[in-house]
A and B are shown apart, each in its own frame.
Chain A
Amino acid sequence: MPVESTLSSDGKTLTINISGRFDFEIVQEFRNAYAEHKDVDYIIDMRATEHMDSSALGMLLNMRKSLGDSAKVSIINCRPQIKKILTISRFDKKFDIE
């Protein structure tokens, strides 16, 4: 499964792992992953993400829109090229990027 979500044991943090390509193919899976859990902290782990295109940025922005600005969303373990994309698109203002 390219998208796998795991809820922490205390039920407060949802980690979404994305492996392979983060693109339009997984638009529904990604939406389902965060839509199923409300009022938690979200961590998007990109350690296995090899590539992302503009639709991934669109998905992340829609996630932010649907969760609201108050929700805490972190993006972690980005590869250099993906981090570059996120920085140049100014995503560091909307998400915590580590």
Chain B
Amino acid sequence: MLSVIVGLIAATVILLSENIAIEASALAVFAVIALVSLRMSSNKNDIEPQPIEIPLCEQPNIQKAFRENESSYESMTKRIHSLDSAIRNSTQTLSSSFSGLGSTSNQTNHLINEVMALVASSQSAKTDNDEEHISVEKFASEVGDILGQYVALLVDVSEKSVQAVHFIGDMVNELDQMFALLVDIRTIAEQTNLLALNAAIEAARAGEAGRGFAVVADEVRKLSQDTDSLSDQIRVRAEKTKSTVTEVRGIVGAIASMDLNNAINAKGHVDSMLQGLEEMNSSISSTMDQLNSLNTEVNHHVSTAVQALQFEDITTQVIADISKNIHVLDAVNNQLGKICETAKIKEDDSHLIERLNEILMVERRPHSHEEPNRASHNEGEIDLF
């Protein structure tokens, strides 16, 4: 008998750990009642004064309490089942949404890799001879090359033009020396003219004998005059040559003198454009790298979450344990009901039954209001207490 009581108390203690403390307290009271009644029945023969005893089955609330407990166990089982299925459903939903998240992040990864491949191919297009595929980089670098060639051409033309100008300068120097020589010729002609004049004077002084010499002197004078006019003509021609050469020098100088600023600025623009493109590409690359590592992190979190979802197993186990305990409690309750049918209680101990009534009145109510949505709970029956 004692072992039955101890078992009852143990079952009660198990229940105390859950949120069904009400049932536990009710059971405890039952246990006390049963103990008292059984003690009394066993001690009946030993004690001389026979106390007034009331059969427990005549107490209406006790029978109701047993029935109520029974339906409570039933509803608890149902609620635990619904809790179990809710956990299972949530776990499934979470699992599928996490696997969806995982596959989305994989797709993102794929897209990132595509973008990376595009960036890489546009970078390598510089070396490709594929005519169809002209990237901005290729175009810009071609324009840059052409501008460089243009500048080199300008410099080459200028170099040769300046060289020509130098030669023209040398030629003008030669012409200037020629003018000096022409002045010398003119001086000689003048001196010859003077000599011829002197010769003519001397010939006149010689009289008849100098007549022939006078003719020669006259001829020499004419020759000197011819030389003078000839050197004049040469000077005029040489001056014309000099002015022509000077004009050529001006033209060649104009060819040599090109404003380089536009070409230089354009080249600078192309260079900075190429640099900007390169920077953009590298920034895209680094951003994509960051995205990739973020994605890896997301994948890691997803797998951690999926791992954490295995708590379902634990809850299922706990729920099964609780269900088993409830079954045991139900059986105990059943058996206690049967015992109460034959058990009696001393009139002096009737306050124990009153206490039970109080507990049933007070403890049941808040419980029924806490979760009114649980359909398995029969509110009408509770209201009877």
Name A residues whose Cβ lies closer than 8 Å to a Cβ of B. Answer: 23-24, 27-28, 31, 52-55, 57-59, 61-62, 65, 81, 84-85, 88-90
CB neighbours of B257 from chain A (8 A): 23-24, 53-55
Alpha-carbon distance A80/B256, docked complex (angstroms): 23
**Cβ contacts A to B, 22 pairs, < 8 Å:** A23-B257, A24-B256, A24-B257, A27-B162, A27-B165, A31-B169, A54-B157, A54-B158, A55-B161, A57-B260, A58-B155, A58-B162, A58-B256, A61-B155, A61-B158, A62-B162, A84-B268, A85-B261, A88-B148, A89-B151, A89-B155, A89-B260
Q: Are A57 and B264 in contact (CB under 8 A)?
A: no
Q: Report B255 CB to chain A, min CB distance, Å.
A: 9
A90 surroundings in chain B (CB, below 8 A): 152
Contacts of A57 in B (CB 8 A): 154-155, 158-159, 260
A88 CA / B269 CA spacing, docked (Å): 12
Q: Which residues of A contact B264 (CB under 8 A)?
A: 81, 84-85, 88
B contact residues around A62 at 8 Å (CB): 159, 162-163, 166
Give min CB distance, A82 to chain B, whole Å: 10
Cα separation A84 to B269 with both chains bound (whole Å): 12
Check if B152 sits within 8 Å of A89, measured CB to CB.
yes
Asked if B261 contacts A55 (CB within 8 A), the reply is no
B247-258: contact bitstring with A at CB < 8 Å (1 yes, 0 no)? 000000110111
Instruction: Select the residue from B151, B158, B161, B264 with max chain A CB neighbours within 10 A.
Output: B158
Q: Is the CB of B169 within 8 A of A28?
A: yes
**Nearest chain B CB to A20 CB, angstrom units:** 15
- Name the A residues within 8 Å of B130 (CB-CB): none
Interface size on B, residues (CB 8 A): 26
Interface bits B214-257 vs A (CB < 8 Å: 1, else 0) = 00000000000000000000000000000000000000011011
Least Cβ–Cβ distance between B165 and chain A, in angstroms = 6
Does B48 interact with chain A (Cβ within 8 Å)?
Answer: no
Which single member of A55, A84, A89 contacts B162 (CB below 8 Å)? A55
- Chain B contacts of A53 at CB under 8 A? 257-260
Residues of chain A with a CB closer than 8 A to B161's CB:
55, 58
A28 to B168, CA, bound (A): 11
* B158 contacts A58, C-beta separation under 8 Å: yes
Nearest to B256 among chain A residues (CB) is A55
Closest to B259 in A: A53
**B267 interface hit (Cβ, 8 Å):** yes
Which of B166, B169, B267 has the most A CB atoms < 10 Å from its CB? B166
Q: Which residues of B contact A27 (CB under 8 A)?
A: 162, 165-166, 169, 253
Q: How far is the CB of B58 from chain A (nearest CB, A)?
A: 116
Kindly name the residue among B253, B257, B261 whose own CB sees the greatest number of chain A CB atoms within 10 A.
B257
Q: Which residue of B lies closest to A27 (CB)?
A: B165
Complex interface: chain B residues within 8 A of A59 (CB): 162
